[in-house]
Amino acid sequence: MSVGRIKLARQPKNEALSSPLLAYPNVHFFACDITNPTAVYSTAEKIKTSLNRDPSILINNAGILASHTILNTSDDFLRRIFDVNVLSNWYTTKAFLPAMLTQNRGHIITIASTASYIGVAGLADYTASKAAILAFHESLNQELKHHYKAPNVLTTSIHPNWVRTPLLGPVEQELQRRGSEVLEPEEVADRVVEAVRGCRGGQVFLPKSVGKISALRGCRIGCRRG
């Protein structure tokens, strides 16, 4: 069975099309400002028309990052990072989830981060945005189970540590200085494909050893309350 892949992106078409994946005939690109809900919804309709069917797999992967303290974060960037990292998840889910519910099948994947569980000095806006999409994803799980009764619409949250993408540019030198492990994008992509092809939802930490950070978060909250 041929599977069509769609890239929905805000960057200029010539930049997005530099991806080797887009050299394949069943891969399509749609330029869209994902921070604009009207643009997302209208582009979603174009996608459905182009495919002559409703997409059943949604991977929310958009993200931006910059290093600055809370006081040095500009109001414009603060709004932008939440528009891109958080609110776009709402728009794309609202655009594609209804058809999944009707058919009671689909898979929504949230590319979160280990930063969902811990604050980092100099990256307060980024870590807050990742905590927000984890909360969004967990709430989506609950709604699918208790509100929509759609057990075959699966969800997976991916929590990688640092990944060598353009997003990492502002902090990569500092990470190298500290000897922090940096994953290759292919490692994350492989786990996403594994989750989709395995037809199972869940939560994935990369590398696996960083999974303890979620337990650490729970422990810290428990200790404070105690």
Rg (CA), the chain: 18
Sequence-distant (6+) residues with CB within 8 A of 98 are none
Bridge partners of residue 7, in order along the sequence: 29
Active site residue 41: no
- Residue position matching structure tokens 């594609």: 96
Q: Which of 41, 91, 117, 126 is catalytic?
A: 126
Burial label, 146 (beta-carbon count in 10 A; 0-12, 13-18, 19+): exposed
- Residue position matching structure tokens 């640092």: 162
- Residue position matching structure tokens 């009207």: 38
- Residue position matching structure tokens 């910059």: 66
DSSP state of 9: E
Looking at the chain, list the stretches that DSSP marks H as alpha helix, in order from N- to C-terminal side.
13-16, 37-51, 75-82, 88-103, 124-142, 172-178, 185-197, 212-225
Amino acid (1-letter code) at residue 10: R
CB atoms within 10 A of CB 122: 17
Catalytic residues, by residue number, are 126
